[in-house]
Amino acid sequence: MLNADDRYDLYEKIKYTLEKNEFVVNPFREIQYGIQFICFLYERSALLRVYEGKKGLKLDFSLCQDEGLAENIAVLIDSTDQLYSKSKEIAKHYEKAGPDSVLPGKDPSDLIGVDESGKGDYFGPLVVASVHSDKHTNEKLKDMGVQDSKKLTDEKMLQMAPDIMELCKHSIVLIGNESYNDVYERMQNLNHLLAWGHGKAIEQVLNEVECDNVLSDQFGHASLVKNALRTKGISVNLFQRPRAESNIAVAAASILARATFVEEIMRIENHYQMPFPKGCSENTLKSAILFCESHGREHLPTVAKLHFNLTQKIDDILVPEEEV
């Protein structure tokens, strides 16, 4: 099994591994002694649990009814674990090769952190947030309890977000569903869309403060974001790494992104007077069918990300094959 510091670290490594292999991994939720989450591969799904105790970490497949998919996931995780020792050498190579890609040693205290929310959620927008923090604000953010948004409840993040925005220079780029679908149709690549959003969020903060260093979670090659910035004439030291949320500036950005996403979900739920579940699950499918039956399939692009495989499932249910 993948080496990890704790249950959250293991979740991030599993998520990163599976998403590199065309899986969609939902956000986790806390359970007794651990966390659980659902991952999807096209029409197939698996419920995984990670337990953390005195004997260490345990990845539990017992609730996964698709044995073939569970075996596939286990193989991917095991093969990734074998590559970790090699990845350490690769990281050292990057440190010697140039200033980008891997941030060597301790993070700079003066840094712009970037993170996104909504990437794995069928309903709601994609939100990218950036936060500038320095030695002065780092300590205040720690005192506020800022940490990776995945370890905080939505309610707590909604409370913390205004304080972060008051303390730090920041930017929030909200890509609504209609814009998201339009841009994705042209780009046909989520990493390019993320790069555009990251570049925009970074640019807006740099309009307010001078900073040479930017850190984001690793979602694709750093050159995608650098190219987006170059079109604006912006040159910075851009670093990416898995679990970048361990940095206080990225953690603050993750809270702003998630809080904004949650507020937008609340807004559309209030507008349509129906639930829009987070993630991508059977409950998501049920709500999508209800939405289409109540408001029309033609309005689905206003609340959902259509490139998800779930859209085809919705259309198959709304228009049975024999009627096509």
What tens digit of pLDDT does each residue of 259-290 get?
999 999 999 999 999 999 999 889 999 999 99
Q: If you average pLDDT over every residue of the chain, what do you get?
A: 85
The answer to whether residue 100 sits within a structural domain is no
The partner residues of 60 in beta bridges, in order of sequence, read 49
The answer to whether residue 93 sits within a structural domain is no
Q: Using one digit for the tens of pLDDT, what is the confidence trace for 168-182?
A: 999 999 999 999 998
Lowest mean pLDDT among 112-121, 129-138, 149-158, 302-311: 149-158
In this structure, the answer to whether residues 234 and 154 fall within a common structural domain is yes
In this structure, the answer to whether residues 70 and 124 fall within a common structural domain is no
Neighbours of 270 (CB within 10 A): 9
pLDDT on residue 298: 96
Give the confidence band of 140 by pLDDT, cuts at 50, 70, 90. very high
Which of 66, 83, 100 delimits the end of a domain? 83
Which of 220, 238, 265 delimits the end of a domain? 265
The answer to whether residue 92 sits within a structural domain is no
The answer to whether residue 140 sits within a structural domain is yes
In this structure, the answer to whether residues 238 and 290 fall within a common structural domain is no
SS3 labels along the chain:
CCCCCCHHHHHHHHHHHHHCCCCEECCCEEECCEEEEEEEECCEEEEEEEEEECCEEEEECCCCCCHHHHHHHHHHHHHHHHHHHHHHHHHHHHHHHCCCECCCCCCCCCEEEEEEECCCCCECCEEEEEEEECHHHHHHHHHCCCCCHHHCCHHHHHHHHHHHHHHCCEEEEEECHHHHHHHHHHHCCHHHHHHHHHHHHHHHHHCCCCCCEEEEECCCCHHHHHHHHHCCCCCCEEEEECCHHHCHHHHHHHHHHHHHHHHHHHHHHHHHCCCCCCCCCHHHHHHHHHHHHHHCHHHHHHCECCCCCHHHHHHHHHCCHHHC
More confident residue, 15 or 227: 15
The answer to whether residue 270 sits within a structural domain is no
In this structure, the answer to whether residues 261 and 299 fall within a common structural domain is no
Which of 265, 291, 308 delimits the end of a domain? 265
In this structure, the answer to whether residues 176 and 120 fall within a common structural domain is yes
pLDDT on residue 92: 43
The answer to whether residue 261 sits within a structural domain is yes
Number of domains in the chain: 3
Please state, for a pLDDT cut of 70, what percent of the chain lies above it.
88
Q: Using one digit for the tens of pLDDT, what is the confidence trace for 86-133?
A: 444 433 433 343 334 444 557 888 999 999 999 989 999 999 999 999
Residues 54, 221: Cα–Cα separation, whole Å: 38
pLDDT on residue 133: 95
How does strand 111-117 pair with strand 34-41?
unpaired
The answer to whether residue 28 sits within a structural domain is yes
The answer to whether residue 258 sits within a structural domain is yes
Nearby residues of 208 by Cβ (< 8 Å), 6 or more positions away: 132, 169
Using the predicted structure, report yes or no on whether residue 321 has a pLDDT greater than 80: no
Range of the domain at 319: 281-323
In this structure, the answer to whether residues 171 and 62 fall within a common structural domain is no
Give the confidence band of 56 by pLDDT, cuts at 50, 70, 90. confident
pTM: 0.69
